[in-house]
Structure 1
Amino acid sequence: MRFLWWVTLIVVSFCWDDCVEKSWAKESALKYPDARREDQVDTFHGVDVPDPYRWMEEDVRTSEEVAEWVAAENEITRKYLEAIPERAGIEERLTKLWNFERYSVPTQTAGKFFYLKNDGLQNQAVLYVADTADGAGRVLIDPNSWSEDGTVSLGFMAESDDAQYLAYGRKDAGSDWSTIYVMDIASGEQLPDKLEWVRWGGVQWNAEGTGFYYTRYPEPETDEQHQALAIKPAIHFHKLGEKQEEDELIYSRPDEPTWSFDLRRSDDNQFLVLMISRSTDPQNQVFFKRVDESVDAPFRPLIEDFENQFWFLGNVDEQLYFLTDFEAPTKRVVSLDVASLTGDQSVRKRMTEIVPADEATLEGVVLFKDQLVAMYLKDVISKVKAFELDGKFLHDVGLPGIGSANGFSGRQSDTETFFSFTSYVAPASIFRLDLESGKSTLIRQPEVEFDRSLFESRQAFYTSKDGTRVPIIISHRKGLERNSENPTLLYGYGGFDISLSPYFSVAYATWMEMGGVVAVPNLRGGGEYGEAWHQAGKKLNKQNVFDDFIAAAEWLIDEKYTSTPKLAIMGGSNGGLLVGASLTQRPDLFGACLPAVGVLDMLRYQNFTAGHFWRDEYGTVDDEEEFRALLAYSPYHNVKPGTVYPPTMILTADTDDRVVPMHSFKFGAALQAAQAGPAPILMRIETRAGHGAGTPTTKKIEETADCWAFLWKNLRMSGGE
């Protein structure tokens, strides 16, 4: 019964290969909505740069012209997609495959266990509290009751130390903005507290449970909340029961409006540790103060520059532990005795190495009472090790296979922790790790209607343009014949020190059932091989990322996995930039393109919402050398009229206030106007959705069905087994 859904797909597409050439031009001769061009020209360092679609930067909620253009684009796209006979069958299979129980890694506080669970097709996961890690628990928060369409979601959460109260963020329509609420955990009663204009940083309770620290931003001007720059954050302390305007200011830097803050309280309630970032780069400043000092007492500096990452892990008395890339591109653990510091001493010279750098990249460390649990990435595969607090190796943490392990959080006093394990062919299972014995126990394993025994993943390495060796993981049905005819999805990211490690995706599983190949290269700019790998793909080195991606496409073709007419590329956010740049640089190489919520106007990205955080990643137009590098690859500015572009569907969302939709609007309008070939250039603009977080399950299924249907038609697929 597993593959009966293919019967419909194969029957309706039986004549596709025979009649596609005759009907291609007719089917693709789409009439796009009129997009007004204006004579806007900006001059950067003596270079005139046209920006004919500047008007598309206006908010779709307030601009009638933009709203009408969006509606017209969506109408064309919906007619195109709904006319693909196979789409209904694809959505049906996605819905069936998505319908399985999914659990988050549990956390524990004061003997209570908290976890998220989705029964299968619920739009939002439900928060439960239980007396045991694998217990049934009771519903604490059900976000599905907050809206009929499932577009209001649960964001960050934090329990007080005694598990009496829960502070949580509530997000609307996928926006980065959150509103903080507080509830009594035992009774489920909602407290009157309501804190607005919160974006990032989470919540840190005081030890007494009478209030918490949080970061808020100034209230934006009317109708500017999804467009205006996110600047001037400030840390406040909120006392339960008081109004937000009465909250006490703890820390702000009005002289540095683009800096962001992360405040942590040590588990023993001795220290408040403040980490300050100026961008999305991991390098940060560190300040601290004693918890029992007055509010007016200043934070003392430990690290006052942005040369290295120093992530606070915890403390043992006066000894503070940090994860750092100082003198260690793949990162290490160091400690610092703050009691012995004097004003004229170099903090870096006073640090003691605990866990030295390894060939593998140290991605994260958790400090427990008598050990450190360290999570490594070795050629994109998870390895976990335990060390004593002096750095002596204890043991490897057993993992059930080759894939990705995540979790391992907890308080320093915990004697157990929990983690998930997943791969491209195995959904995430949940394990308990006994910290004393070092043994792992399976506590939850999902049941999915996907026969993993029929599929396989393997890692290979290919050579990029400049000779760099790049890893790639290829997943597909076992017994795949390399005949250059396999529809292949090449997915990439390559940026912000983010690693793409293996994980199970219903979308990928369905694609593989359709006979497709999933290929994920680990491009420079990510964090797979430490800070050196990241630096090799940022700012003036950004072209390396596109070269790596293009080389992956050429390698897949050379290895006869696929061919240009059967090769699709996809990526989101920074990955949307990757697809946009690759598409404009090599339009001849790809059979279809799916850039999603991408950063596509590289000359003006820093003017909107979170864009200023990306300056250290991309560079800015303020620097002439960086401007010329940005202009050379900016997708919007490199669309060339009269070019034959491959079939492309650009995806964005109207409430995306991370990468504002103007990027996709301007790029899409330019691409439609420039297209010299018959292939469609479509815009899929989701409503009441954002950058991705909090997207309802129904919208995820619909979007994936649209993407796979678009590829089914344009890669000329004929079905799986």
Structure 2
Amino acid sequence: MTRQPYPPASRDDIVENLHGTPVSDPYRWLEDPDDPATEGWLAAQEKLFAAEMSALPGREAFRSRIAELLRSGSVGAPVWRGNRAFFTRRTPDQEHAVLYTADPGGAERALFDPMAIDPTGLTTLDAWQPDKEGRLLAYQVSVGGDEESSLYLMDVATGERIEGPIDRCRYSPVAWLPGGEAFYYVRRLPSTEVPEGEEQFHRRVYLHRVGTSTEDDVLIFGEGMEKTNYYGVAVSRDGRRLQISASRGTAPRNDLWVADLSASTPDSPELTVVQEGVDAQTALHFGRDGLLYVFTDRDAPRGRICVTDPSEPLAEQWRDLIPQDPEAVLTDYAILDDLDRPVMLVGWTRHAISEITVHDLATGERVGEVPTPGLGTIGGITERPEGGHEAWFGYTDNTTPPTIQRYDARTGETTLWAASPGVVEVPAVHTEQVAYRSADGTEVHMLVISKPGAEGPRPTILYGYGGFGLSMSPGYSASILAWVEAGGAYAIAQLRGGGEEGEEWHRAGMLANKQNVFDDLHAAAEHLIATGITTPDRLGISGGSNGGLLVGAALTQRPDLYAAVVCSAPLLDMVRYELFGLGATWNVEYGSAEKPDEFAWLHAYSPYHNVREGVSYPATLFTVFQSDTRVHPLHAWKTCAALQHAQAGDRPILLRNETEVGHGARAVSRTVELAADQLTFLAHHTGLAV
């Protein structure tokens, strides 16, 4: 087809000397979304995208099939408080999941339906937490994808909103005191009290008493601490123990304090250090048996569970209950104690495949395992706060929409508690876990999903993330199923930087080791080619957020290896990323350009700075979201302009810039349209006939 000319984009002569290195930034003007020049350029890019996509076949087929597969709906694991269960469910025709409560007789009632509040679909339910008795509900809502949550309180019995909005509550935990009269929460300082440009930071822990003004909230913690700190807060079931954790941004370590609220007051807790200045992550659970359980990767990068007396919480007093496993990563646990022999259920992942084992609570001895529906992913294991013999957990795999399973420790049986409500015809697929060697010889695992019996090279999407300790585990995906059903293969690489093999695996792909992640992806591509699954002209790569950085680096480092790229909500200017969105909270993962040695490795792989004129780049589609307050779309805007200027080949460089959505939750219909565009683009440029 005839290619449309790219919209003109002026190249400014901006060159800064950073630590002795000249750094060019010709498209810095695109950092300002309100500049008329930026607005005009975005409007022209929208026209170009529409013209290019309208000429591609197969979009309607993808759109209708993805929409059909998403009619499975979804269901969330129950949270038990008092005599009520709280859970979410999305039926086939709903844009968002609805929060429900159920009484002991099973009668259900909707508590919060985002579409009933806002028929446009722009309102999302970000988080919710019932009080310990199940009478009040704290819930957080944002609009238009900005994730700027406002907190409200609801009377569960009547559904009436009784307080709110309380603003500046983005990513806030809520820890109720018994009786529902007060809770601890996290709130940012007002913008008038912080330096310009730091409005997203400066969090504090407060105590709020229900029925009083937030002006009277008591500052509990955070004064004088690191501006990028995130705080966690929890109160034990009996209300006696308070724990507060602090981590600098997304650092894989935290400081931890506890207070005995029976020996001090809730508004002036006497906090005692459990862990401070230690390079490890630790969380506490005050058991119903009076013991303190410790979940930590301290001296155990794959995780362990320890036990101690609550009056002696320091590490020197911890006793291993569930030691570190040499192969599996510990992910979760629950205690079931209404039994002759109380047990602990322990969740693990083994190369990202989930399992649950059963252990004697007193000794840690393994006494069995929990039957699971298959080789897939298990969500959080939940129990009743007052104890019992039952536990619930989510389960999904590549062909199974989310379900909630119930385990009965008395019988040792697992049964279906709730299934996603929609009935869909899911295509048969074959999933294989393969291992390959990266550039330095490290063994990396990858899931390859194809039609049963598929042979020979075929159009393939390679997906990865490789950051922040997040694991790429099997799960139901309408996009993957639609692609495989159409005849393609879909590969998910479990790259370093993720959590598939524990914290050491994460750290092998962060900071100065970030190039390992890109090498792992290149090696995955080469393995897919060497084993005959695909060829370079049939191979596309896809990633979002940190995964957008991944594929951005891949296309600039190895443009010969990939035919097509979908780069979504990416970080791409790694020299200036800390200046925008939540970037300053990620320098513990990537490094800071303010430090000479860290600047050197950031600049070496920064995709924006590694675009070279005269190179034939893969067909590339940037998909970004105008209301994204995590990763500013300027990263994609600047790199799109640079690639359009530099492209020596005939493959297109396109930008899909979507308004009124952000980095996270979105309406189902918006998800369908985005996925259809992405798959249509990849199909055309890898030769998949739809």
Whether the TM-score (by the shorter chain) exceeds 0.5 is: yes
Q: Which amino acid aligns with 1:183?
A: M
Tell me the equivalent position of 2:413.
439
Residue 290 (structure 1) aligned with residue 260 (structure 2): yes
How do residues 565-644 of structure 1 correspond to structure 2 at under 5 angstroms?
Answer: 565-644=537-616
**Whole-Å separation in 2 of the counterparts to 1:255 and 1:132:** 45
**Whole-Å separation in 1 of the counterparts to 2:358 and 2:348:** 11
**Whole-Å separation in 2 of the counterparts to 1:518 and 1:85:** 20
How do residues 477-556 of structure 1 correspond to structure 2 at under 5 angstroms?
Answer: 477-481=451-455, 483-484=456-457, 486-556=458-528
**Whole-Å separation in 2 of the counterparts to 1:392 and 1:445:** 33
Tell me the equivalent position of 2:291.
319
Residue 361 (structure 1) aligned with residue 303 (structure 2): no
Residue 430 (structure 1) aligned with residue 400 (structure 2): no
Q: Which amino acid aligns with 1:159?
A: P
Given that 1:179 and 1:194 are in contact with CA atoms closer than 8 Å, whether structure 2 keeps it comes out as yes
Deviation at 1:712, TM superposition (A): 2.2
Relative distance call for 1:596 and 1:221 in structure 2 (3 A) is: farther
Tell me the equivalent position of 2:424.
449
Relative distance call for 1:236 and 1:646 in structure 2 (3 A) is: same
Q: Deviations over 1:150-184 (max 9, x none)?
A: 01100110001111111100011112210001111
Alignment equivalent of 2:676, drawn from 705, 711, 714: 705
Deviation at 1:228, TM superposition (A): 4.8
Residue 276 (structure 1) aligned with residue 249 (structure 2): no
Tell me the equivalent position of 1:106.
78
Describe the SS at the equivalent of 2:128.
strand
**Whole-Å separation in 2 of the counterparts to 1:572 and 1:253:** 35
Tell me the equivalent position of 1:678.
650
**Whole-Å separation in 2 of the counterparts to 1:117 and 1:442:** 15
Residue 201 (structure 1) aligned with residue 172 (structure 2): yes
Tell me the equivalent position of 1:12.
none
Alignment equivalent of 1:406, drawn from 369, 373, 379: 379
Describe the SS at the equivalent of 1:444.
strand
Deviation at 1:229, TM superposition (A): 5.3
Given that 1:425 and 1:457 are in contact with CA atoms closer than 8 Å, whether structure 2 keeps it comes out as no
Tell me the equivalent position of 1:252.
222
Deviation at 1:100, TM superposition (A): 2.4
Q: Which amino acid aligns with 1:247?
A: D
Deviation at 1:132, TM superposition (A): 5.5
Tell me the equivalent position of 1:7.
none
Alignment equivalent of 1:93, drawn from 65, 83, 88: 65
Where structure 1 has 5 or more consecutive residues not aligned to the other structure, the ranges are 1-22, 342-346
Q: Percent identity between the aligned chains? A: 35
How do residues 73-92 of structure 1 correspond to structure 2 at under 5 angstroms?
Answer: 73-92=45-64
**Whole-Å separation in 2 of the counterparts to 1:611 and 1:526:** 19
Alignment equivalent of 2:135, drawn from 154, 159, 164: 164
Q: Deviations over 1:363-384 (max 9, x none)?
A: 2223454432211111221011
**Whole-Å separation in 1 of the counterparts to 2:122 and 2:336:** 37
Tell me the equivalent position of 1:233.
203
**Whole-Å separation in 1 of the counterparts to 2:219 and 2:467:** 34
Describe the SS at the equivalent of 1:197.
coil
Given that 1:496 and 1:617 are in contact with CA atoms closer than 8 Å, whether structure 2 keeps it comes out as yes
Given that 2:568 and 2:622 are in contact with CA atoms closer than 8 Å, whether structure 1 keeps it comes out as yes
Tell me the equivalent position of 1:666.
638
Runs of 4+ in 1 over 6 A off after TM superposition: none
Q: Which amino acid aligns with 1:250?
A: I
Q: Deviations over 1:234-261 (max 9, x none)?
A: 1111222222222111112324212221
Q: Deviations over 1:2-60 (max 9, x none)?
A: xxxxxxxxxxxxxxxxxxxxx4xx2xx332222232222222211110111222222x3
Instruction: State the superposition RMSD in angstroms.
Output: 2.0
Q: Deviations over 1:307-327 (max 9, x none)?
A: 111122333566321111111
Output the TM-score relative to the length of structure 2. 0.95
Deviation at 1:280, TM superposition (A): 1.2
Describe the SS at the equivalent of 1:394.
strand
**Whole-Å separation in 1 of the counterparts to 2:183 and 2:581:** 26
Given that 2:260 and 2:269 are in contact with CA atoms closer than 8 Å, whether structure 1 keeps it comes out as no
Q: Which amino acid aligns with 1:714?
A: H
Given that 2:184 and 2:207 are in contact with CA atoms closer than 8 Å, whether structure 1 keeps it comes out as yes
Tell me the equivalent position of 1:192.
163
Describe the SS at the equivalent of 1:542.
helix
Tell me the equivalent position of 2:189.
218
Q: Deviations over 1:626-683 (max 9, x none)?
A: 2111111111111111111010001110111111111111111111111111111001
Output the TM-score relative to the length of structure 1. 0.91
Alignment equivalent of 2:319, drawn from 343, 352, 365: 352
State how many pairs are aligned. 679
Given that 2:98 and 2:110 are in contact with CA atoms closer than 8 Å, whether structure 1 keeps it comes out as yes
**Whole-Å separation in 2 of the counterparts to 1:672 and 1:322:** 53
Alignment equivalent of 1:176, drawn from 147, 167, 172: 147
Relative distance call for 1:116 and 1:65 in structure 2 (3 A) is: same
**Whole-Å separation in 1 of the counterparts to 2:66 and 2:154:** 36
Describe the SS at the equivalent of 1:34.
coil
**Whole-Å separation in 2 of the counterparts to 1:322 and 1:493:** 29
Tell me the equivalent position of 1:242.
212
Tell me the equivalent position of 2:301.
329
Where structure 2 has 5 or more consecutive residues not aligned to the other structure, the ranges are none
Greater displacement, 654-663 / 407-416? 407-416
Q: Which amino acid aligns with 2:450?
A: H
Given that 1:599 and 1:663 are in contact with CA atoms closer than 8 Å, whether structure 2 keeps it comes out as yes
Greater displacement, 89-98 / 365-374? 365-374
**Whole-Å separation in 1 of the counterparts to 2:468 and 2:215:** 35
**Whole-Å separation in 2 of the counterparts to 1:674 and 1:100:** 43
Deviation at 1:429, TM superposition (A): 2.0
Given that 2:250 and 2:585 are in contact with CA atoms closer than 8 Å, whether structure 1 keeps it comes out as yes
Deviation at 1:599, TM superposition (A): 1.1
Deviation at 1:67, TM superposition (A): 2.5
Tell me the equivalent position of 2:626.
654
Relative distance call for 1:317 and 1:608 in structure 2 (3 A) is: farther
Greater displacement, 571-580 / 142-151? 142-151
Residue 473 (structure 1) aligned with residue 473 (structure 2): no
Describe the SS at the equivalent of 1:254.
coil
Q: Which amino acid aligns with 1:196?
A: D
Q: Deviations over 1:556-603 (max 9, x none)?
A: 011111111111100111100000000100001111000111111111
Describe the SS at the equivalent of 1:630.
helix
Q: Which amino acid aligns with 1:213?
A: Y
Q: Which amino acid aligns with 2:11?
A: R
Q: Which amino acid aligns with 2:382?
A: S
Relative distance call for 1:411 and 1:304 in structure 2 (3 A) is: farther
Q: Which amino acid aligns with 1:199?
A: R
Tell me the equivalent position of 1:30.
4
Alignment equivalent of 2:369, drawn from 396, 399, 406: 396
Q: Which amino acid aligns with 2:375?
A: I
Describe the SS at the equivalent of 1:703.
helix
